[in-house]
């Protein structure tokens, strides 16, 4: 994922993301840290000690994002097909989602965009 995509997903400015991820931001705000961590699929706990938990690997996170985006795309296609009286069964939809997931994983740029 590019820093631009992180900034968009976190709703934080790109310069802020650059400063925080490079370590140049000495006192980042908790909301900014939380937003960036969430955009990256990471849980950060701040207390007496700082804990960082990666709930899933980077590959799993990419696959989750690809599957989510594929489902959205297939629901749009299914909606259009229903309007045209050409709806398909759930098994076909599942296969289409799996195919779209694989295609999105191959094209990393489309994966993180809007």
Contact 19, 8 (CB under 8 A): no
Contacts of 40 (CB under 8 A, 6+ apart): 1, 6, 61
Predicted model pTM: 0.54
Please give the torsion angle defined by the CA atoms of residues 77, 78, 83 and 87, in that order, rounded to the nearest 10 degrees. 130
Confidence of residue 114 (pLDDT cuts 50, 70, 90): low
pLDDT in tens, 68-101: 888 888 877 777 666 556 667 778 888 888 888 8
């Amino acid at each position: 994922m590019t820093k631009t995509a992180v900034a968009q997903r976190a709703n934080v400015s790109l310069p802020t993301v650059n400063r925080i991820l490079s370590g140049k931001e000495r006192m980042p705000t908790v909301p900014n840290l939380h937003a960036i961590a969430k955009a990256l699929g990471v849980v950060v706990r701040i207390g007496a000690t700082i804990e960082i938990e990666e709930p899933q690997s980077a590959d799993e996170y990419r696959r989750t994002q690809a599957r989510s985006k594929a489902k959205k795309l297939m629901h749009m296609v299914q909606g259009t097909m229903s309007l045209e009286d050409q709806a398909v069964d759930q098994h076909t939809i599942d296969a289409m989602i799996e195919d779209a997931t694989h295609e999105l994983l191959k094209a990393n740029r489309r994966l993180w965009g809007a």
